Amino acid sequence: MTFVSTQGKRRIDEIGNESRRRILDSAEKLFTDRGFDRTSFAEIAERSGISRGSIPWHFKNKHGLFLAVIERAMERAMTPEPRTSSPTLTELAEEFASWVRNGESALVFMAVNEAMNSSGAVRVQYQEFFARHRHGLELWLRARRPETADPETASKRERTFALAFTGTLFGIHLQALVDRASVDFDEAMRLVAAEFDKNLRNVWDVPDRSESGDPDQ
């Protein structure tokens, strides 16, 4: 039986993490420049200096690597600095806009295309990826859920709200990609965030007392 010291295991982990980072760096550059279909494991291996056989060990398959690249890009852009409090919808939209301006978001539309043209286990990979990011907004909503809200109904409406909000953001982004000159992207994002924020209480059917004629308001 072979025993590996704690220090030795730490070194192995460091090497593995460094290999993963180099693969991701190279894959991100190639996917961005050449697209998904025209990028091969052989090219990624050559650029990263990592053996071709090591790539599936880290990422299972090409689709898994592609999604890991997008995941890292989103994390890098959507959490630019530590927060002392939970973000508002407007702040979430502003972070999304910043991510778009940096040019990294084009990878997500490649993922949408791959998802639409895939089936079986590969399609499930993409479905889980997008569902995971919608779920993040659902958790944000759940943290703001009034105690009086019915849990089952609230969960369904939070899921719908998350889908509508993220879908609207990506819809605006798509229009900006097609016709940037005609779309004031930043202003559109601000308007969308403000409108969704204004109607946030409707997710749980909480009455607006300021509009109900309540004499205490």
pLDDT tens track for 100-149? 766 666 777 777 777 777 777 778 877 887 787 788 889 989 988 888 88
Q: Which range, 45-54, 125-134, 163-172, has the best average confidence (pLDDT)?
A: 45-54
Q: Which two tokens stand for residue 123?
A: 């399609």
The model's confidence at residue 215, banded by pLDDT at 50, 70 and 90, is: very low
**Core vs surface per residue 18-32: b (16+ CB within 10 A) or e:** ebbebbbebbbebbb
Predicted pLDDT of residue 83: 54
Q: CA-CA distance, 69 to 31, in Å (whole number)?
A: 9
Within 8 A by CB and 6+ apart from 157, the residues are: 203, 204
pLDDT in tens, 21-36: 999 999 999 988 888 8
Own/partner pairs, 12-15, CB within 8 angstroms, 24+ separation: none
Which of 84, 74, 92, 76 has its CA nearest to residue 141?
92
pLDDT (0 to 100) of residue 84: 57
In the chain, the percentage of residues whose pLDDT exceeds 70 is: 79
| Confidence grade of residue 160 (pLDDT, cut at 50, 70, 90) | very high
* pLDDT tops 90 at residue 46: yes
The answer, yes or no, to whether residue 82 has pLDDT greater than 60, is no
pLDDT for residue 105: 66
